[in-house]
């Protein structure tokens, strides 16, 4: 766990670790020179399993995470941000999974999102084996850092933990580097609570996060699409599939759909996937494509609906409910009309 000015949250986060049904752990907390009440809270902790490392100067998230990992003595390493929570069974379930699956180098859990007093599930696909998670990491980030546990030996073998050039997307970068070593899994149980609040990330930091996430994807796409197309595809996927920002024009939407189809075909071929695995990934990709088209339609581009129907390779694997399509089209027409009237006035 790393923290900077986390006084409002860190007590509950640490409490969720101490409440684990699995007891054989050490909790390393790196305080990145907090200026609020965090140092006092950490100093008051008496559980002998907690080891606090206090930095004299703020170095940022990558520096703090690297210092925490350098202090690790365990075989498996779990992560938890200072504002998130682990359910009591989390560590026990992940340790058991890694013990049973030696080819898996990292396993995450499903999450529940807590925001403004309510709880909701994430909008990514549930379940799936290593090929599904590997593919999802090419079109989104289906893993929450606070939910992961990984093998310390696997990361040490790569020579670097978090890389400064991927700041804010450093966890995403780590996942992709680990894919070259082994499989990544995700438990279907929701064992992590991800808390959304105003200080999660500022707009400026979000720009850097997206730029570095696109860099990670560009490197992953280059062997599949070639260098020139990889950069364009990575920028579109980051903006519209990961960030969930609606596409505003048909040209961009058509280009994104084309990249999705190319990526899927190249990915399946590169990993020598059979018919069943190809069908599974096609269905996941089709649902992602519908979510993207639906967002574009509802944002005021109703003609995007016809583009979805024309994308036979993607649309064939998933047909949205007729009511959803009709309502989305109506919302899109209304917003398009309002925009037209506003610009005309």
Per-residue b or e along 103-125, where b marks 16 or more CB atoms closer than 10 Å to that residue's CB: ebbbbbbbbbbbeeeeeeeeebb
Residues 109-163 pLDDT 10s: 999 999 988 999 998 888 789 999 999 999 999 999 999 999 999 999 999 999 9
Domains of the chain: 2-196 (3.90.550.10), 246-344 (no CATH)
Round to whole Å and give the CA distance between 176 and 272: 19
* pLDDT for the residue numbered 342: 82
Q: What is the mean pLDDT of each run of 10 residues along the chain (345 residues)?
A: 96 98 98 98 97 97 97 97 97 98 97 93 86 96 96 96 96 98 97 87 76 97 95 97 95 95 96 95 94 96 88 82 95 92 73
Tens of pLDDT, residue by residue over 299-343, are 999 999 988 877 777 888 888 999 999 999 999 999 999 988 887
Gap between the Cα atoms of 222 and 231, Å rounded? 8
pLDDT (0 to 100) of residue 339: 87
Pairing of strands 27-31, 50-54: parallel
Rg of the chain (C-alpha set): 22
pLDDT at 208: 92
């Amino acid at each position: 766990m790393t923290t900077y000015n986390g006084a409002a949250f860190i007590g509950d986060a640490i409490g969720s670790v101490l409440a684990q049904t699995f007891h054989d752990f050490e909790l390393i907390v790196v305080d990145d020179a907090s200026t609020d009440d965090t140092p006092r809270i950490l100093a008051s902790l008496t559980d002998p399993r907690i080891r606090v490392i206090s930095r004299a100067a703020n170095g940022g998230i990558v520096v703090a995470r690297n210092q925490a990992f350098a202090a690790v003595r365990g075989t498996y390493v779990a992560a938890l941000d200072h504002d998130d929570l682990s359910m009591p069974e989390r560590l026990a379930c992940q340790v058991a999974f890694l013990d049973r699956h030696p080819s898996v180098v990292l396993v995450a859990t499903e999450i529940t999102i807590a925001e403004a007093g309510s709880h909701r599930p994430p909008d990514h696909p549930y379940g799936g084996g290593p090929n599904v998670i590997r593919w999802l990491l090419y079109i989104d980030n289906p893993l929450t850092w606070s939910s992961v546990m990984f093998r310390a030996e696997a990361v040490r073998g790569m020579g670097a933990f978090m890389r400064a050039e991927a700041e804010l997307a450093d966890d995403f970068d780590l996942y992709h580097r680990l894919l070259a070593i082994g499989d990544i899994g995700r438990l279907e149980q929701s064992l992590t609570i991800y808390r959304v609040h105003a200080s999660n990330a500022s707009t400026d930091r979000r720009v850097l996060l997206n730029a570095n996430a696109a860099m990670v994807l560009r490197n992953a796409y280059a062997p599949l699409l070639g260098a020139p197309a990889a950069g364009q595809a990575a920028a579109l996927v980051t903006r519209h599939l990961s960030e969930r920002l609606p596409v505003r024009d048909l040209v961009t939407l058509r280009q994104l759909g084309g990249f999705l189809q190319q990526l899927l075909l190249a990915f399946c071929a590169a990993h020598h996937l059979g018919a069943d695995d190809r069908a599974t990934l096609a269905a996941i990709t089709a649902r992602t494509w519908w979510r993207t088209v639906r967002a574009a339609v509802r944002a005021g581009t109703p003609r995007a609906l016809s583009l979805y129907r024309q994308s036979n390779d993607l649309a064939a694997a998933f047909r949205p409910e007729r009511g959803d399509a009709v309502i989305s089209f109506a919302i899109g027409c209304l917003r398009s009309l309002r925009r037209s009237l506003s610009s005309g006035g």
